[in-house]
Structure 1
Amino acid sequence: MLRFLPIVVAVALLAGCREEEADTDAVKRGLKVHEIAEFERSQTRRFPGVLEPADLTVLSFEIGGKLAAFNLDVGQGIVAGEVVARLDPETLRLQVETAEAAVAQAEASARNAAETLARQEALLERGTTTRVVVDDVRAQADAAAASLTQAEKSLEAAEETLGKAELRAPFDGIVNSVEATSYATVAAGTPIATVYSTEAFEVSFSVGFDAASALVVGTPAQVRLADRPDIALAAVVGEIGARADAVSSFPIVLRLKDTHPLLKAGMAVEAAIDFPLPAREGYPVPLSAIIKDGRSGSPGDAETPARAGVFVFDVTSSTVKRREVTVGGIRENMIVVVEGLSSGDLVASAGVSFLKDGQEVRLLDPGE
């Protein structure tokens, strides 16, 4: 019975070797790679912000009075020249009528004074009156003419004031807020509503000193709606604050060059601006290539670039080698590596969490 034991052991060992070989073949993973080829000379930095109207206008009356009933709602669209509110015109109409009566009276007085002057001048020619009397009548005629002119000016002012009882929209836009209610008594300059134009929007946010120093007015940017990421609009840097509004925080204002029917004030947006890389140039690598095992890498800061680990395929040994790289920034869905890679390197771009340093792999065809 014992003479058969070596044979059984040999067969078991042989089977074990075959299983090991099978297991080795089974764990040889297929590797999808990204070939390092193109240079990137900038990084994209993103900033959250809120869409704001570039032109926010406060509507108010130039005169005081009692508001008539009006129906104005936040978000309501208005067109240029549309009446958005009215003052009760009764008092103003009475002022116009009073001014009209004053003009009629002044016209009669001026006409009588002119006729009296003409008669006195005729008497002077016949020698039946004196120069002193004529000069006195002429002064009275001039005063009556001046009173007529003043009455006409008062009538014009009253009519103009009556016209100011209607508050009209200065441009096509949207009602942003309503500050008054129907039948309220308001003074001149009291805010009635605020409106903004849908043709011009801007985004405000703050950046650190390094970012503010790298920007100039006119730098191109892109604004993407948080609720509709598929909508991206071109913008430019319109203002750069020379004074920080907080410690090392400088205000930046982007002006949108494009518009869209869905744009509304107060929408959450993300602004993207390209900044020069700390190094001269870098290589774009998919975000999926970064090794996320916590064994290496650093987030970096304003002075020190970030570090990360990636796997690079070694053609001679068909294995992957772990390599530390320096990250200069992010552009779209790619990181930009400024140190640690060379043109022609093959970087593992998928399944990196299942790889280990020195592991033998099988390079996949691009179509696999």
Structure 2
Amino acid sequence: MSVGLDAVTRMGLLRITVFGLLALVVGCSAEPPPEKTAVRVVAQQVAQVAGLAQTVLTGDVQARFVSELAFPSAGKVAQLSVDVGDKVVTGQVLGRLDPLELRATLDISEAELQALQARVDLARADYSRQARLLPQGYTNRNEYERAQAALKGAEAELMTATARHQLARDAVADADLLALADGVVVARPVAPGEVVQAGQVVLSLAHDEAPEAVFDWYEALPTGLVIGAPIHLHTLSEPAREISGQVREIAPSVSASSGTLRIRVSLPAEAWHWPLGTVVAARLAESLGPVVVLPWAALSRDQGQPAVWRIDAQQRVSLSRVEVSRYETGRVLVAAGLRDGDLVVAQGGQLLYPGQQVEVANVLAVSGPGAQP
């Protein structure tokens, strides 16, 4: 019985010895895992510069003054000698009412005036006779007062007829529609042959004097954009030729139809040759204070917040949250979160993780002052 136990014990010791030797051999032959290769990145050294945001507005040239032209009296439009887009000069005849109806109305008013004048003369003679006879007792008070009332009534009707006659004369004289200023016809809602009422708009005339550029702005106004502020403009066809305008008017409220604020800019005399409707662009400069200009590729995220990869002295990276002042084409303007001299990853940070070793392949030059897109 003891012999069997000794055999079992020896077999167990033998197995332990064999497994130990195998573990020792494997442990001695295994090599340590290779270290991960450092990721090559492009870095940029942080340096704050004066931030200058450039905002570009697009609008068009419009007339500051637009006159709505109308005939002062009703009638049939016999002629309109201009169309939309035509240039006109002061005093030019633009349209004419049918003179036959106007002259007929004048003839009727003249005949009515003559008849009422005769009636007044008759009433005045009757009143004079009653005034002479009343003191002598040859007439009574009732006849005298009747003659007096008839004279006053006839004189009142004569005054009314005289006013109507003057209106008829003015209508004949105003049958021609004249241009009030040099300009361009921008609307013609009436066609020849139509009957118009007095004061109904027939033509719209945009004056050549003092054109202006009009812009619609969808956001809060940039800092410094106030009435009287200078603003640089150029046409889309000549972007290299800039002129300086002046903000004349800023709408006090947002338009209910477009949701924009309308800005009107007075143009200098050198821009008065720009045709109405010319598309113009305005450039606004807004100071942002000290900022750090980084390329778009440098921006990352840390729990939903903007962040950048900062490189420490051991060439390891860590995420640092930043405050972005403005997003622009190809770059971001960082207002807070970085200090001068910091080294951040500008390119190649897409697959980094905190504490990873990096190799700086190149250091980008610091962007100059200003923040032009």
TM-score normalized with structure 2 length: 0.62
How far apart are residue 75 of structure 1 and its match?
A: 2.7
Structure whose CA Rg is larger: 2
Judged with a 3 Å threshold, the aligned counterparts in structure 2 of structure 1 residues 146 and 240 are, in CA distance, closer, same or farther, namely: closer
TM-score normalized with structure 1 length: 0.62
Partner of 2:254: 243
State the one-letter code of the partner of 1:132. N
1:153 aligns with 2:142: no
What per-residue deviation string (whole Å, max 9, x for no partner) do you get for residues 230-263 of structure 1? 252413151145337699x642313214133422
How far apart are residue 54 of structure 1 and its match?
A: 2.2
Structure 2 gap ranges (5+): 1-46, 301-322, 334-345, 347-361
Judged with a 3 Å threshold, the aligned counterparts in structure 2 of structure 1 residues 241 and 148 are, in CA distance, closer, same or farther, namely: closer
Q: Equivalent of 2:365, from 304, 323, 326?
A: 323
**Residues 51 and 290, structure 2, Cα contact 8 Å, conserved in 1:** yes
Q: Equivalent of 1:120, from 127, 130, 135?
A: 130
Partner of 1:162: 172
Judged with a 3 Å threshold, the aligned counterparts in structure 2 of structure 1 residues 297 and 53 are, in CA distance, closer, same or farther, namely: farther
CA distance, structure 1, for counterparts of residue 250 and residue 110 of structure 2? 53
How far apart are residue 90 of structure 1 and its match?
A: 1.3
Helix, strand or coil: the match of 2:123?
helix
1:52 aligns with 2:62: yes
Helix, strand or coil: the match of 2:226?
coil
**Residues 87 and 185, structure 2, Cα contact 8 Å, conserved in 1:** yes
1:228 aligns with 2:238: yes
Which structure 2 residues correspond to residues 1-368 of structure 1 after superposition, within 5 A? 42-198=52-208, 199-209=210-220, 211-212=221-222, 215-229=225-239, 230=241, 232-236=243-247, 238-240=249-251, 242-243=253-254, 250-259=260-269, 260-277=271-288, 279-280=289-290, 303=326, 306-307=331-332, 322-325=364-367, 329-330=371-372
Helix, strand or coil: the match of 1:202?
strand
State the one-letter code of the partner of 1:271. A
Helix, strand or coil: the match of 1:67?
strand
Helix, strand or coil: the match of 2:253?
coil
How far apart are residue 128 of structure 1 and its match?
A: 2.3
Judged with a 3 Å threshold, the aligned counterparts in structure 2 of structure 1 residues 244 and 118 are, in CA distance, closer, same or farther, namely: closer
Q: State the Cα RMSD in Å.
A: 3.7
How far apart are residue 78 of structure 1 and its match?
A: 2.1
Structure 1 gap ranges (5+): 1-35, 284-289, 310-319, 336-368
How far apart are residue 88 of structure 1 and its match?
A: 0.4
Instruction: State the number of aligned residues.
Output: 273
**Residues 250 and 262, structure 2, Cα contact 8 Å, conserved in 1:** yes
**Residues 234 and 282, structure 2, Cα contact 8 Å, conserved in 1:** yes
State the one-letter code of the partner of 1:154. R
